[in-house]
Amino acid sequence: MVKWDAGSLKSIIFKELHSSSCVPKGTEKIQHQLYDLLLNTVDRGEGNSVLFVGPRGTGKSALVNYTIDKVKSACKNDFILVYLNGFVCIDDQQALKEIAKELCPKSELADLNLNSFASTMTFLLETLNSGDKGRQSVIFVLDEFDLFTQHHNQHLLYNLFDLSQSKSTPLAVVGLTSRQDVMELMEKRVKSRFSHRQFFIFGPPTFEEYIAIAHEILCPDSLSLPSWSTHVKEVLNSTDNKIKTYLERVYNFNRSVKLLKNCLTWVAVDIDSSSPKINVDLFEEKLIEVFKDSKAVLIRSLSKLECCILIAMARLSTKHANQPFNLEMVLFEYKEFVTFEGGKIDAIPNHDLAVQALEKMIKSQLVRTLSSRQSKVQKDYKLMYLNIDIMDLTNILKTCNLQSNVQKWAQSVLTF
């Protein structure tokens, strides 16, 4: 009989959960092509460029990192890896600083002029290749690639793709993005220098494979506990609980392995040291939370006044076929309701309270203003839209603790 050891069990599962080496299944052919491409750059001095496109959490970064590690252990020559993230490098100057940190010796970094991207990039590469060892390859990984297309004139992309086509420097550019229209975001001159080599990565193609991934995460190869593996398989496939049903809903909603790992983290946290088993109730609770509507939680937390203002906005949107409205129109709609109820509802609040309620809803993104060009327009007359579906709003309001006449007013939105 296998003796349970929850301490080592938890640590091994956590290591697997936080590992970035969870390469998506069914991508062996893509891995092989990327491996050959990078090996040609490092060993044969060829310039290359490639884009990985796919939803977030599907393993694009894991695949690229895994392949780079394979190249690192297999190739004869050293290479420099430069990792840039579009969220960090908000412009070419910031990107240039990050590149300089990797390519330029620290002694020369302070004297480097970063005003011109092209001249500075050329200088950095000349510095890199001026030693006795000859040319050294560089692999650029551009995460959130689509954000780099927003840089002024796309200088960074233009120069990197241009250098990847020249014979002076062995350079490979690997882009990662979740935007499927990324090619349309590139300027013509940039697009003409790109190799047009794209790989599309999606989540697990079948629910059975999704379940298999969950089992592999909770029962990695390094863990030799047949009893635990059997227990996990029973929980994931059992018809006695709703785990499989909820997992299928998660799969249909979002195939991200990252989201699956987040759910499984709670399972690992709750493993009992005395008798390691999956807490089925907790697992179900965490899977249900995936579908919890954040707007519903927000609306239920609103005050009575804020709910009434929201209902008035919904009525205006329905009355006028989703045309924009302003605060004055909203308060007039509210006033009509108060007058019709004949004192059964609180009177219209003072103007300042109404403005505060509106600002809270804009900040919470329940309402969005029409444009930024209304900066000089008075608050009462700024145009705005309701930022939630009318049907969803009325269903959420049904669950709110409102007076019966306010509930009736809310549901009347659908009768226009």
pLDDT of res. 172: 93
- Side by side, the strands of the sheet bearing 198-200 are 79-85, 137-143, 171-177, 48-53, 198-200
DSSP state of 20: S
- Which portions of the chain are predicted below pLDDT 50? 1-4, 131-133
Q: What are phi and psi of 62, to 5 degrees?
A: -60, -45
Residue 300 CB coordination number (10 Å): 14
The enclosing H or E element of 82 equals strand 79-85
* 59-105 pLDDT tens trace: 898 899 989 999 998 887 788 899 999 988 888 888 888 888 777 76
CA 123/CA 129 separation, integer angstroms: 10
**What torsion do the CA atoms of 368, 370, 374, 378 make, to the nearest 10 degrees?**
-60
Give pLDDT, residue 1. 39
Domains, the chain, with CATH or none: 6-16+205-289 (no CATH), 26-200 (3.40.50.300), 296-415 (1.10.10.10)
Candidates 360, 362, 347, 354; CA nearest to 309 is 354
Q: Is the separation of the CB atoms in 34 and 50 below 8 Å?
A: yes
Give strand pairing partners of 386. Answer: 367
pLDDT of residue 132: 44
Residue 385 pairs in a beta bridge with: 368
| Residues facing residue 176 across a β-bridge | 52, 143
How far apart (Å, rounded) are the C-alpha atoms in residues 96 and 235? 51
CA 24 from chain centre, in angstroms, equals 17
| pLDDT value for 125 | 66
State how far Cα 28 lies from the chain centre: 25
The 8-class DSSP code of residue 364 comes to: T
Number of residues assigned to the chain: 416
172 pairs with which residues across the strands? 48, 139
Predicted pLDDT of residue 134: 54
Confidence (pLDDT) at 187: 93
DSSP-derived secondary structure letter, 365? T
